[in-house]
Structures are given as C-alpha cells and as structure tokens.
C-alpha cells in the first residue's frame, strides 16, 4: 500500500471529530486491509509501529525532527524553528516546509507503508557512536520521498503526536464493523463480538493480533490468551463517598483491603522462570526494582503468575511507611539502582492474581483469586505480603477497618465484589475506593509560565486539563504545593526540568507543553467558569503529587468533574 493512501485516511479522521464518523472512516479502511497481509498498518493508525506492550521508542526529539526536515528540504533550521513558534504543530511545519523544499527529488520514489515501517522500526535499535547521524539518515530518506502531506504525518508519528483522534473505543468498534456483518446479527450477538474484541485486546495489548483474530471469527478471538512477560492493563476502580454506598455498589459481603499509598505493579513470571515488572502505564521497570524480582522468586510459590500489587516505600531506619512521592523517583531511574534499593526500600502488597500456573484467572471470581494469593505468598515483613483485608457485610466492621487503614498511614480502603471477574483497563464497579473527604483529581499540565523574582528561570504556574474523549480541556491554574528547595519535597526546579523537554510553543513567559505530565491536585471546590473550555474551574488548587506512574488515559474525565461538581453542590 502507498503511504499516501494511509495519509488520506489520517486526514479524513483528523477533519471529522464525530466518533461515529471516525468509526465509519476507519472501518472502511480496515475492510480493505482484511486480506492484504498488511495488518501491521494498524500500528501506524495508532501512531506507532510496535504493539502497545512494546517499550521500544523512536527516540526522536523536536530538535532532531527539525534537523531532519532541514536536511531533506534544504531550508535552514532557523526558518523551520520560526515557523514552529508560529504554528505550534511541528507536523504542520513539516507540511509547509516540504511544499517549498529546495532539494531535488530525482532519486525519490513513491513512499510505501512498508518502507515507512521498515525505516521506523530500525530507529529504536540504533545505539552507540553515530546514532544521531544514522537516525537522521533514516528519517531524511523518508522525508525526501514524501509529499508535503505525507511529511506532516511522518513527523507527527515520529514525535508520537498523530492528532487524528483514534481512541481505543473507535479502534475496537471499527474492527467489529470491518470483520463482522452486523446487519445479519442480533443485538446480543453484536455485544458478544464487541466484548470478544475488547477481551482479546485486554489479554494481548496488541491491536494487530486482535484484528487478525477478528478477521478469522469470534472463536479465534476467544482463543487469545494472557501471556506472562507481556504487560496487561490494570483494572481501575471507581470512587465512592461512603462505606454504605460502597456496599450498595459491590454487594454484601465484600472483601475490604487497604488502599496503599504506593504505586501499582504487575509482577510476571513466565515458563522459563523469568520475572518482569510492569507499571500501570505498561512500562517495564524490572531493572529499576531488583528487590521485587528477588521477593517474587523467593516468596511466591508458583511456576507462572501475573500478580497485581502495590509497591509501598518505607524508611529503612524507622520502618515508617512513606508517601508515594518519596519512592516515585525509582520508577524512571536507570543508574545507581543498588544505592536506591537501600535508601528507598519498598514492600509489596499483593491484592490480585490474573494468571496462575499456566491458566488465565481473568474470569474466575475474586474470592477464588484471593484464596490463591493467600496460598502461594509467604509473608515476609517489609518485603512481600498479601494485602491486609477482611471479608464482611457489616458497616461497623468496615468503618473500624477503614479507621485502621488511616491510622496506619494508608490512603483509605478498597471494597471489592467477591464474585467479580477481572476487567483490565475498565472502571466497571467491581471494586471501589474510599478515601478521607479530600477533594482530589488527577490532571495533566498543558501550559506553564516562567516565574519572577526568587523563582526566575523556573516554570512556576501551571495550566491544568481534564480529558473529554480525545481532547484536553482546561480547568484552572495552580502554583501552590511545590517547594523552592528540592530537598524539602517536590520542587519547582524538578517540575521545570521535566516540563522543558515537553515545550512545543512559547509566547512571552507562557509555554505550551505536550500533555504528558500528570499531577494530583487537591482543591476546595469546583465552580462554573466561562474562562476555561471545560466550563469549570478549581478553587484553591494545590499540587500534592507528581504521578509518573500514570498516563493521560488515567486522568480525570470531564464527566467525572461534572459529577464532582454536583456532589459538592449538595
């Protein structure tokens, strides 16, 4: 297939904000792919060239993309940067630049999808001396052959910022429409197929595999299995205000366990005995946590498993549990690991298991999964244990357990339906969380402003956004909660360091940044506001945490903001 054909689809998707229209456009495109042996193109539709579980990255910065554009077009870096500052979208810059390219195209050929995939797949493999030049060569080769429109989407793909609005739901429904004749099916059959597509993805985190299986039929989708060593999306939990409402949602009796103030890890052991650890963002952090690997090998008695757990930090001297922020730096650290293991030790609390001794337990009731956890884990203080839990139908017992969790320094409690299966990536009400009455949201930073006076040189005021499907909507600004000195906690200096590489546009003191950095915000109230495009504003917001373990798909949605607004009005 010519890359131009894919770019035409990109353009149609970008022009049409309607979910129904996007689904129609994409299902028509996928129908043409069904018998073409080119299922890999589905990765490019996501702006990727590898499955979602893959950690491989192109390693291309805006600076390198600009160099490649300059090399392919013959236009100076300086002129390209000026255009970028005006337009704010480097994809648009690429489109305009390549319209006016000065380099000859005598040796260029029409660009194929295969050529794009081949070149892009090579980028993560390059390392060592001369890497930058080799990457430039691979990118420039594509840009030299590309039309202006193709250049736009090539550069956006390289920077993982495709902007065509294909979310997971659109892709799922497009696969269903392309692979099954819905007109001849009953509603119940269609629902079963949609669930089958979603379950196949939940087990594999690979849309290419799902598309190939769907093309063969529902029975093939149902054969998709979990595979230890490949990351799986964690099941997400809803919030409730009271224990009574919690019982109403999850049923009586239920299991109640501590909501730990740590970060989520999925611990995998495969047939060869290899241990791998993934975060809720599907990042492989095995190298950063050799202590978890040791605990899993020594204290978990099973041939294979996938455990859902929380890693909680503690002070090595006092043994007092530490808040998430204290150990969050271990997630991204690549050097001096042994030193950090001693300085920032962690304890693992296991609360679920979805694969055990060669069998998927996604559909097994939670009470059975819990029995396995208690059977296979040998408790070792400050190393690994099953989450502290009770099973009850009594509000008084639940309230006492909640008080115990708070007294222990934990965030609150989780209430879980004993009969429920495990639904990766879904907030389906099988479990809920209850925390003290503190208004809290996870939001993403989309803009920032440079400070003045003592804070000059730092980004010190941040515009926050919630998520509405594929859009980020502003909900206020925050400048409190951070420290001026790094040793006192999360600082302006630290956040500035993380935001600067994400800057995509500058205007005076204000910068626009890629929506990547998630923060937890505590606030007093939510009010209606015409100032922000969400329609809401936070009163007295304060940053309490930097959430390196969370992605933009995890942040608070506009629908959740609206519910909080109504709740706080009562």
Where in the sequence numbering do the catalytic residues fall?
259
186 pairs with which residues across the strands? none
CA neighbor of 432 nearest in space, from 247, 206, 561: 247
CA neighbor of 454 nearest in space, from 480, 426, 492, 487: 492
How does DSSP classify residue 414?
E
Burial state string for 220-252 with b = 16 or more CB within 10 A and e = fewer than 16: ebeebebbbbbbbbbbbbebbeebeebbeebbe
Structure tokens of 570? 């009562």
- Beta strand pairing status for 384-386 and 346-356? parallel
What is the rounded distance in angstroms from the CA atom of residue 265 to the CA atom of residue 350?
9
Are 473 and 482 in contact, with CB atoms under 8 Å apart?
no
Residue carrying structure tokens 């497009």: 174
242: Cβ contacts below 8 Å, ≥ 6 apart: 434
What is the rounded distance in angstroms from the CA atom of residue 138 to the CA atom of residue 117?
11
What is the rounded distance in angstroms from the CA atom of residue 30 to the CA atom of residue 32?
5
Are 100 and 75 in contact, with CB atoms under 8 Å apart?
yes
Structure tokens of 80? 């390209």
125: Cβ contacts below 8 Å, ≥ 6 apart: none
């Amino acid at each position: 297939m010519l890359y131009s054909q894919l770019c035409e689809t990109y353009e149609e998707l970008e022009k049409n904000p309607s979910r129904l229209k996007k689904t129609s456009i994409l299902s028509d495109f996928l129908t043409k792919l069904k018998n073409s042996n080119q299922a890999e193109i589905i990765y490019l539709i996501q702006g990727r060239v590898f499955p979602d579980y893959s950690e491989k990255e192109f390693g291309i910065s805006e600076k390198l993309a600009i160099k490649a554009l300059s090399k392919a077009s013959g236009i100076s870096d300086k002129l390209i940067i000026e255009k970028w500052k005006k337009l704010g979208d480097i994809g648009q810059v690429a489109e305009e630049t390549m319209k006016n390219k000065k380099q000859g195209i005598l040796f260029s050929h029409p660009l194929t999808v295969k050529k794009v995939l081949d070149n892009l797949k090579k980028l993560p493999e390059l390392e060592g001396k001369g890497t930058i030049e080799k990457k430039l060569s691979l990118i420039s080769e594509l840009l030299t052959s590309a039309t202006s429109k193709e250049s736009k989407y090539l550069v956006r793909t390289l920077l993982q910022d495709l902007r065509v609005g294909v979310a997971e739901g659109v892709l799922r429904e497009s696969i269903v429409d392309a692979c099954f004749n819905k007109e001849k099916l009953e509603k119940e059959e269609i629902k079963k197929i949609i669930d089958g597509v979603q379950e196949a993805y939940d087990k594999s985190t690979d849309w290419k595999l799902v598309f190939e299986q769907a093309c063969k039929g529902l029975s093939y989708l149902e054969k998709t299995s979990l595979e230890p060593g490949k990351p799986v999306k964690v099941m997400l939990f809803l919030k409730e205000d009271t224990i009574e409402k919690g019982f109403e949602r999850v049923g009586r009796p239920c299991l109640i366990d501590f909501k730990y103030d740590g970060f989520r890890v999925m611990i995998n052991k495969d047939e060869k005995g290899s241990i791998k650890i993934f975060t809720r963002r599907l990042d492989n952090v095995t190298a950063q946590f050799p202590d978890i690997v040791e605990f899993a090998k020594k204290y978990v008695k099973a041939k294979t498993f996938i455990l859902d757990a929380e890693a909680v930090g503690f002070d090595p001297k006092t043994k007092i549990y530490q808040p998430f922020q204290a150990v969050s730096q271990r997630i991204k650290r690549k050097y001096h690991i042994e030193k950090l293991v001693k300085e920032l030790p962690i304890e693992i609390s296991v609360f679920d298991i979805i694969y055990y001794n060669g069998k998927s337990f996604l559909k097994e009731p939670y009470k059975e999964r819990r029995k396995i956890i208690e059977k296979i884990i040998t408790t070792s203080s400050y190393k690994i244990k099953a989450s502290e839990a009770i099973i009850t139908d009594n509000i008084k017992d639940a309230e006492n357990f909640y008080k115990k969790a708070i007294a222990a320094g934990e965030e609150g409690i989780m209430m879980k339906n004993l009969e429920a299966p495990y639904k990766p990536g879904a907030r389906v009400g099988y479990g809920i969380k209850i925390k003290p009455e503190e208004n809290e949201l996870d939001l993403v930073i989309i803009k920032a402003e440079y400070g003045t006076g003592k804070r000059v040189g730092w980004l010190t005021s941040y515009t926050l956004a919630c998520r509405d499907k594929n859009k980020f909507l502003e909900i206020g600004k925050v400048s409190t909660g951070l420290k001026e000195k790094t040793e006192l906690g999360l600082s302006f200096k630290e956040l500035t360091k993380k935001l600067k590489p994400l800057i995509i546009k500058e205007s005076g003191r204000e910068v626009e940044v890629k929506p990547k950095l998630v923060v937890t915000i505590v606030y007093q109230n939510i009010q209606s506001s015409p100032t922000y495009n969400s329609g809401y504003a936070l009163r007295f917001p304060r940053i309490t945490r930097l959430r390196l373990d969370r992605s933009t798909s995890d942040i608070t949605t506009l629908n959740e903001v609206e519910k909080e607004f109504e709740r706080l009005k009562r």
